[in-house]
């Protein structure tokens, strides 16, 4: 048996010194370290998928999706993307109520499955527009097990075809994707693209028809599906580094639409500054004096655009454009 190196009196003094702090004690632990709580059961959304890039992809998608819907459904509802969210799949499902058009999609070459959910109000409004209505549609009370009719399924597939086409264009700056419809459900709980505790990336597009029917279209990707391309999302989608061909097509279509817009143009010979009292006292036959300028001004929609010279061509009064008016000019 080994004898104690310290006597009982020395042990008591040492214990007292530790208790009152007069003797420093090194436990070997870093008590100043800061600890961050981490849920090992789920992915950490801070690990790399750049949701800001997904927002930019969604903006690119919306540009042409409206036009695509106009071509196939004869309607162009207001579609506004909300900010991309990273949520647990189970939390997302709890916010949904059947029936919905739940479309399971494969995005080759990405692994796993995504979903495109279409709110019934979008379907019924599109159906009404397709047959010449004003996009009003009727919802009423839908039972959870209510199936979509063959005509409604046709409208759903037309919306999906338009979405697939424009999503391919929107994703093209990142990588070429091929969209494949795998299955269709009415209950989102049957579309198990991820476990309840897994994270998903939710892109919601809120819609509004001319008759103010509100709805939404959701595109949901499992977080793990986009992890392989997170570096591309972080670095390759820069401002102006998008799908140039898609941008050019959108610009040309917008330019063509604007070019056909109707404008009310007038030629202004001169202006008179007066008072309300003087205008109120005016009578037929009164003569108003003003200084005639050398040139009149052509004003489309009230905006001065050109200085013009007034004359005639045959028996027709006409104007000849002399020069453009500088922005902010008269």
Kindly state whether residue 15 falls inside one of the protein's structural domains: no
Do 158 and 209 fall within a single domain? yes
CA angle (217, 133, 98) in 5-degree steps: 35
Residue 322 has pLDDT above 60, yes or no: yes
pLDDT at residue 70, rounded to an integer: 82
Do 193 and 84 fall within a single domain? yes
Do 247 and 312 fall within a single domain? no
| Two tokens, residue 145 | 């097990």
Which of 196, 225, 255 delimits the end of a domain?
A: 255
Residue 33 has pLDDT above 70, yes or no: no
Residue 142 has pLDDT above 90, yes or no: no
Closest to 56 (Cα-Cα) out of 231, 139, 174, 142: 174
We report the CATH number of the domain holding residue 313 as: 2.30.330.10
Do 92 and 234 fall within a single domain? yes
Which of 196, 230, 255 delimits the end of a domain?
A: 255
Kindly state whether residue 260 falls inside one of the protein's structural domains: no
Lowest mean pLDDT among 158-167, 196-205, 305-314: 305-314
Kindly state whether residue 248 falls inside one of the protein's structural domains: yes
Residue 159 belongs to domain spanning:
45-255
Do 320 and 231 fall within a single domain? no
The pTM score is: 0.59
Q: Summarize pLDDT for 215-239 with one digit per residue, the tens.
A: 899 999 999 888 888 777 776 555 4
Do 59 and 201 fall within a single domain? yes
Kindly state whether residue 75 falls inside one of the protein's structural domains: yes
Do 151 and 228 fall within a single domain? yes
Do 61 and 195 fall within a single domain? yes
Do 182 and 302 fall within a single domain? no
Residues with Cβ within 8 Å of residue 313, at least 6 apart in sequence? none
Residue 54 has pLDDT above 60, yes or no: yes
Q: Which residue has the tokens 């042409």?
A: 64
Kindly state whether residue 23 falls inside one of the protein's structural domains: no
We report the CATH number of the domain holding residue 96 as: 3.40.1550.10
Kindly state whether residue 29 falls inside one of the protein's structural domains: no
Looking at every residue in the chain, the average pLDDT score rounds to 80
Residue 12 sits at φ, ψ, to 5 deg, of: -65, -40
Residue 76 has pLDDT above 90, yes or no: no
Do 172 and 272 fall within a single domain? no
Do 239 and 280 fall within a single domain? no
Which of 204, 229, 255 delimits the end of a domain?
A: 255
Most confident of 40-44, 129-133, 183-187: 183-187
What is the number of domains present in the chain? 2
Secondary structure of 136-193 as H, E, C letters: CCCCCCCCCCCCCCHHHHHHHHHHHHHHHHHHHHHHCCCCCCEEEEEEEECCHHHCCC
pLDDT at residue 248, rounded to an integer: 66
| Two tokens, residue 328 | 């902010």
pLDDT at residue 19, rounded to an integer: 76
Secondary structure of the chain as H, E, C letters: CCCCCCCHHHHHHHHHHHHHCCCCCCCCCCCCCCCCCCCCCCCCHHHCCCHHHHHHHHHHHHHHHHHHHHHHHCCCCEEEECCCEEEEHHHHHHCCCCCCEEEEEEEECCCCCEEEEECHHHHHHHHHHHCCCCCCCCCCCCCCCCCCCHHHHHHHHHHHHHHHHHHHHHHCCCCCCEEEEEEEECCHHHCCCCCCCCEEEEEEEEEECCCCCEEEEEEEEEHHHHHHHHHHHHHCCCCCCCCHHHHHHHHHHHHHHHHCCCCCEEEECCCCCCCHHHHHCCCCCCCCCCCCCCCEEEEECCCCCEEEEEEEECCEEEEEEEEECCCCCC
Confidence of residue 241 (pLDDT cuts 50, 70, 90): very low
Kindly state whether residue 123 falls inside one of the protein's structural domains: yes
Do 128 and 232 fall within a single domain? yes
Residue 38 has pLDDT above 90, yes or no: no
């Amino acid at each position: 048996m080994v004898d104690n190196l310290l006597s009982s009196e020395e042990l008591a003094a040492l214990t007292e010194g530790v208790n009152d702090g007069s003797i420093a004690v090194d436990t070997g632990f870093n008590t100043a370290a800061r600890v961050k709580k981490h849920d090992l059961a789920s992915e950490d959304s801070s690990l790399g998928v750049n949701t800001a890039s997904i927002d930019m992809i969604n903006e690119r998608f919306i540009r042409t999706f409206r036009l695509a819907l106009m071509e196939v459904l004869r309607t162009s509802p207001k579609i506004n993307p909300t900010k991309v969210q990273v949520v647990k799949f189970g939390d997302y499902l709890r916010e949904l109520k059947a029936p919905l058009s739940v479309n399971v999609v494969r995005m080759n070459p990405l692994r796993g499955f995504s979903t495109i959910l279409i709110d019934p109000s979008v379907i019924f409004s599109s159906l009404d527009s397709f047959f010449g209505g004003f996009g009003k549609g009727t919802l009423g009370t839908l039972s959870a097990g209510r199936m979509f009719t063959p005509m409604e399924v046709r409208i759903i597939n037309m919306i999906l075809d338009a979405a697939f086409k424009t999503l391919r264009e929107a994703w093209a700056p990142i990588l070429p994707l091929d969209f494949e419809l795998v299955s269709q459900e009415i209950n989102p709980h049957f579309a198990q693209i991820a476990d309840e505790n897994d994270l998903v990336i939710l892109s919601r597009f809120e819609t509004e028809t001319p008759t103010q029917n509100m709805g939404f279209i959701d595109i949901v990707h499992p977080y793990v599906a986009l992890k392989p391309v997170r570096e591309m999302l972080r670095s390759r989608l820069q401002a102006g580094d998008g799908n140039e061909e898609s941008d050019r097509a959108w610009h040309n279509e917008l330019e063509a639409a604007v070019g056909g817009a109707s404008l009310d143009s007038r030629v202004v010979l001169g202006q008179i500054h007066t008072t309300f009292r003087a205008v109120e006292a005016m009578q037929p036959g009164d003569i108003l004096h003003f200084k005639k300028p050398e040139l009149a001004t052509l004003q489309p929609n009230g905006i001065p655009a050109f200085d013009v010279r007034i004359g005639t061509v045959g028996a027709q009064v006409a104007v000849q454009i002399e020069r453009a008016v500088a922005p902010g000019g008269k």
